[in-house]
Each structure stands twice: as C-alpha cells, then as structure tokens.
Amino acid sequence: MRSTKPTVAVLATIDSKGREALFVADALARAGARPWLLDLSLKPHDRAFEGVGGQRVAEAAGASWRALGGRSRLEASAAMAEGARRLLLAKFAKGEIAGAIGLGGANGTGLACSVMRALPYLVPKVMVSAVAATAAVEWYVGESDIVMVPSIGDISRNRITDAVMENAALALAAAARNFMAKRDEKRDHPPLVAISSFGGTAPCVERVGERLEASGYEVILFHASGVGGRSLERLAASGELAGVVDLTTHELTDLLVDGVYSAGENRLTSAGAAGLPQVVVPGATDHANFWVGAAPQRFEGRDFLQYNEHNLLMRTDGEEFASLGRLFAERLNRANGPVRVLIPLEGFSEHTRRRVSDLAGNDKGSWKRAEDYRVFAEALKADLRVASVEELALHINDGAFADACAEAFLAIAKP
C-alpha cells in the first residue's frame, strides 16, 4: 500500500555537503515528507548516511565510483548525473517520488539540476544554490520548472543558511503533498493548445486564444524568448498538447544569426513529430534580439531598434528571410500531422509602425519592408510539400488575420 507521506529526493554531494543534506532531510521529515538521499559525490568517501550511496549511483550509469575518482570533473559529473537520473526516474515511474530538492555551489547545482530536469513538468523541484542569482541560472533551469532558491551564503550550516534551507524544505514538502494528492485524481480537462507569443504579436495572440477558448479549448502561452520555445517543444513531445498555433516563430531568426533568444535546433519540430495539428505563422521573424551594447561586430552596418533598456532588435534582411523560408519548409516537411501556414503580408510584428537606426542612432527609415516578407513567402513556397502557403493582405495584428488563424486551427484539429 502506498505511503501517505510523499517521498522527496534529496540530491547533494555528501562528501562536501553531507551535514547540510542531513539537515534538509530532517526538515523534510518534520514537515511530513519521507526524504530519499542520493549521493552525487564525484569521489569515494566513507561518510555514513541513510540513502543511496555514490557507488550505487555510479553503477546505475555503468561506471565504477572508485574509477571516477581518477577521471576529470566533467566526466565524473556526467556519469553521476546519469546514474542519479536513472535511479530517480525508475522510482518516479513506480509512483514513489513526489518531489526533489538539491543543494550545492556551482558544481553541485549543475549536477542536481541536470538530474531534476529529467522529471516531468509539475513534479515539485527546488534547488538551494549559492549561484542562484548568476546568469548561469538559465542553463541550470533550462526549459524545466525548477525553483531556484538563493542560499545567501555558501551552502554550509549557520543560522542564515539553515533558515533558507529549512524554508525551502518546508515549501517543497507542502508542494509534494499537494502533488501526491492530485496525482491520482481523475479529471476531465479541455484539450490544451499551445500558442507562441511575444509583445509584438500580442493582439493576434490574445484574439486567437479567446477564439479557441470559446470553442472549448484550454490555452497555454509560450513567450518566444528561447526558454519559452524549448518549453513548447518539450510539452508538445510529452503528449500533453492537442495542437499548436505557432504565431510567434521569432526564435528561429535568433537561431539563424546567433541571437540571444534562440530556442535551439529543435524549434518547430516536436509538434510535427507528435502528429499534432499545427498552424504556423512567421510572427516576429522580422527581427533578432541582442543585448544592448552587445551586437556582434559583423552586424555593425545593419538596421536596429532599441526596444527597451536591455533589448536591441536587429531587423531581418532579405537574405535571412530567404534562409528562414527554407528552414521553415525543411522542418515542417517532417510533420506527421496536419499543417496550415499563414503569412500576413502587411507585417510580421507591431514594429512595422516604427523606424530603424544604425548603432550610432542615425535614422534609416521605416521598419516595414514588404518586399522582404515576399522573399520569405517565395522561399517557403518553393520547398514546402506538406501544406499550401496562405498569403493574406493583412497585418499579423489585424483582427481578421487572427480570426483566419483560429479558423485554420479549428478546421484541422481533431474533433
């Protein structure tokens, strides 16, 4: 019979963070959870504790813990993370895990987060980390739902960090109890549809979402800032979605020019691989994102718009639009489900009302370049085999274009 107490994995390098891991385990137990410690130490040690030792973790990855002690930190970390993932996922598959918490500095954070990222969305995950406020957080968290908790000081026992670790443990125990209570509930949910979004496509996104909700769908929006696109792709591959209305495929422009909002090589692939119905629009592909003051030198002569104090937008040129058309076609041609592609020829984002400048601030004219949108359309039509390309003499944020997108999805969605 399944325990009424949620079991929570505690991930730490016991050789260096043993006292802290045991403190967190005790806090979890006091909060009504059952701690399950996994030792991620990269070298053998003789510290005693109740849980899964490093030797067993290494063996789960097909390695020897003793042998790992003589390997590089990178190689040893990869093996221990792989072993811990296998053990954790096996226990989760049996319904025996309701959450996970990690402790660590830079190396420990990387180890524990790489393990926790393997757990599905909504399984509670907390990382108490000495590097929780650094720029590296994006890579630790990735497209997962790990909650990062700054440890204030380094991970060690004192009244400040004890309070942080205890608070994190108590919060996770409550979330784990809630997760376990809901895990076996039988609920009827409306089919869930993903919509990619951005500020420059917001009116279209909002109207399409309202239309789909009125038709009995639930909507989840993904901000096209890199991690949003990766999350969309992961959710599409997980079986949680009924379809995708990809209104804001901007991240592919950043992929093309190494912008800061690239979602990587998997963007625009998972919905097709899963056979989901998808409506695809080149929303906000008319620019790439760089941080202010950090545009690559090779783009010095290009057209820019400073969007806010952090974001510098570089307008997409004709050559890049042609490459994007071919890229869209190559990825969509692999789709196993129905596809509709709609192109708003009067503009791909709200920036069409704005003007561009060079990096020195000199005006270079209107943002809108209708001839470049046509370049994208022609390149896409030349290579796309799975669907026709529907060109509309509308702006992406026109209500009529949003309605066309919603109707296109409803026409191909499963009843």
Mind listing the pLDDT tens digit for each residue in 63-85?
A: 999 999 888 989 999 999 999 99
Q: What band does 1 get if pLDDT is binned at 50, 70 and 90?
A: very low
CA distance 29 to 7: 10
Position 236 pLDDT exceeds 90: yes
pLDDT score, position 186: 65
Position 2 pLDDT exceeds 70: no
Q: What band does 5 get if pLDDT is binned at 50, 70 and 90?
A: very high
CA distance 347 to 279: 18
Q: Tell me which amino acid residue 290 is.
A: F
The CATH number of domain 192-412 is 3.40.50.12030: yes
The residue-averaged pLDDT of 255-259 equals 97
Q: Which residue has the higher pLDDT, 410 or 138?
A: 410
* Domain boundaries of the chain, sorted by first residue: 7-183, 192-412
pTM across the whole model = 0.83
Q: Tell me the torsion sign for CA atoms 229, 231, 234, 237.
A: negative
Q: Residue 244: which of 195, 287, 186 has the closest Cα? A: 195
Same topology between domain 7-183 and domain 192-412: yes
Query: Would you say how long the chain is, in residues?
Result: 415
Give the pLDDT confidence of 104-132 residue by residue, as tens digits: 999 999 999 999 999 999 999 999 999 99
The CATH number of domain 7-183 is 3.40.228.10: no
CA distance 400 to 403: 5
Q: Residue 28: which of 119, 113, 98 has the closest Cα? A: 98
The residue-averaged pLDDT of 22-32 equals 97
CA distance 159 to 169: 15
The residue-averaged pLDDT of 157-185 equals 93
As to burial, measured by CB atoms within 10 angstroms (0-12 exposed, 13-18 middle, 19+ buried), residue 2 is: exposed
pLDDT score, position 357: 93
Give the pLDDT confidence of 273-282 residue by residue, as tens digits: 999 999 999 9
